[in-house]
Amino acid sequence: MESLLIKGGVPLHGEVTVSGAKNAVLPIMAATLLTCEPCMIHRVPDLSDVKFMGQILTSLGARVAFDGSTLRIQARKINGVGDYDLIRRMRGSVCIMGPLLGRLKKAAVSLPGGCVIGARPIILHLKGFKALGAKVTIEGGFARASARRLIGSDMFLGGRAGSTVLGTANVMMAATLAEGVTVIESAACEPEVVDLANFLNAMGARITGAGSPTITITGVTQLHGAEHEVIPDRIEAATYAIAAAATNGEITLRGARGDHLHAVFDKLKDTGVNIERKGTTVTVCRKGRLKPVDITTLPYSGFPTDAQAQMMALMILTPGISIITERIFESRFMHVSELARLGADIEIEGPSAIVKGGKPLSGAPVMASDLRASAALVIAGLAARGTTQVNRVYHLDRGYEQIDSKLRKLGARIKRIQGP
């Protein structure tokens, strides 16, 4: 297994180009199952999750070809039962269910189960399929949906923590080929849902309202091939911006969508970080001492749960008390005990972490537990004195394209080694 070895204490300087968004490209890849015609997707990040989704589509009968950051997929003939073990290994793969149901009127996927960040049910996805007239069963570890005809309807997809991103994506995809009009209330407003809707519309779907809590889908009889460029990854951009602030550096993000990052930039500004946006270029630099801030994660356009761990890494460097409240996933604080190994002082009180920041950090061996927790450990390691070894780098490779070489270009002393 590989590890990252980081010699901390070097301010990051320079430019970094933001890659395509993991959480946009995965459902877009799934959406290609809705047509037998070829689709081209550009700005595809080189990530293990993307390759994995490619394998899943191949196992369903699609032809998948990577050419640098362009991906060509043709799902001429497909079967409706996903490989149990393949799908189980990546939670995001549940979003093949909507397109399979839309195109074949039947779908079966292995239930994704929980993961380290929380329970992660798909009840709302299944509720949406039922509202379209599908019969849904859970049997032998599979969730199955089938219908003779899918009929558009009105539905409410809000849950305990608000909207569901992949649930909205799944139902929206199935509804593109339903008869009549579907209205999803309490739909997820994330930019990745908008990107998917844009791709589906380019395929001939009739979707309006994506980006708002009410999405209307007027069913069509078939979809065709399309070409699309994936939006830049807002969480990757946020991670580099936070790393620049944590190391007292100055970096320029190229190809970023600052308009997708209001909540993160607002908090960074509150801590005393300078953010300058010009088109798709964003310059981030820290001016003077950091100030503590309180953060609550929320569905978009609130502060993203996917940037919570990274922001906590910044707050442990900030003198004073910050309270970070996680409202989306119930156990997304796995990074806390690992950050403590570097010297962080954090207490968990229910859904909140009380961060007593400003204590000096010193490098240590730490264990990555999930994608964003790993990013937080890298940020803390970049700012700590001495050497930090982040083990289980495969978590980072799921969602950060070439993180070590991008950071090296920014001046970080970081290398990949064979770890324990």
3-class state of residue 331 by DSSP: coil
In the complex with ligand EPU, the residue whose CB is nearer, 121 or 255, is: 121
Binding characters for ligand EPU, 357-386, by CB under 6 A (x = yes): --------------xx--------------
Q: Does 21 bind ligand EPU (CB under 6 A)?
A: no
The Cα–Cα gap between 319 and 317 comes to 7
Part of the chain binding ligand EPU (CB under 6 A), chosen from 65-73, 129-137, 164-172, 338-346: 164-172
The Cα–Cα gap between 247 and 266 comes to 19
In the complex with ligand EPU, the residue whose CB is nearer, 112 or 249, is: 112
The Cα–Cα gap between 215 and 171 comes to 11
**Min. distance of Cβ 35 from ligand EPU in angstroms?**
22
One-letter-per-residue 3-state SS of 19-82: CECHHHHHHHHHHHHHCCCEEEEECCCCCHHHHHHHHHHHHCCCEEEEECCEEEEECCCCCCEC
Q: Which of 52, 240, 329, 333 contacts ligand EPU by CB under 6 A? A: 329
Contact in structure between 92 and 49 (CB atoms under 8 Å): yes
115 catalytic? Reply is yes
Binding characters for ligand EPU, 82-101, by CB under 6 A (x = yes): ----------x---------
- Which residues make beta-bridge pairs with 277? 282
Q: Which two tokens stand for residue 165?
A: 């991103």
Contact in structure between 383 and 6 (CB atoms under 8 Å): no
**Min. distance of Cβ 87 from ligand EPU in angstroms?**
13
The Cα–Cα gap between 380 and 357 comes to 12
Q: Does 328 bind ligand EPU (CB under 6 A)?
A: yes
Residue 148, phi-psi category: left (phi > 0), alpha (psi -120 to 50), beta (remainder) = alpha
Q: Does 392 bind ligand EPU (CB under 6 A)?
A: no
Q: Does 306 bind ligand EPU (CB under 6 A)?
A: yes
Element (H, E) at 216: strand 214-218
Q: Which of 29, 56, 165, 245 contacts ligand EPU by CB under 6 A? A: 165
Q: Does 119 bind ligand EPU (CB under 6 A)?
A: yes
Q: Does 161 bind ligand EPU (CB under 6 A)?
A: yes
Binders of ligand EPU in range 276-305 (CB under 6 A): 305
Part of the chain binding ligand EPU (CB under 6 A), chosen from 77-85, 115-123, 247-255, 346-354: 115-123
How many residues are present in the chain? Answer: 420
**359 Cβ neighbours under 8 A, 6+ residues apart:** 316, 343, 344, 345
Q: Which two tokens stand for residue 131?
A: 């509202």
The DSSP letter of residue 359 is P
Q: Does 128 bind ligand EPU (CB under 6 A)?
A: no
Q: Does 122 bind ligand EPU (CB under 6 A)?
A: yes
**Min. distance of Cβ 162 from ligand EPU in angstroms?**
7
**Min. distance of Cβ 373 from ligand EPU in angstroms?**
9
Q: Does 51 bind ligand EPU (CB under 6 A)?
A: no
Residues in touch with ligand EPU (CB under 6 A): 23, 26, 92, 118-125, 159-161, 164-167, 188, 305-306, 328-329, 371-372, 399
Q: Give catalytic residues, as residue numbers.
A: 115
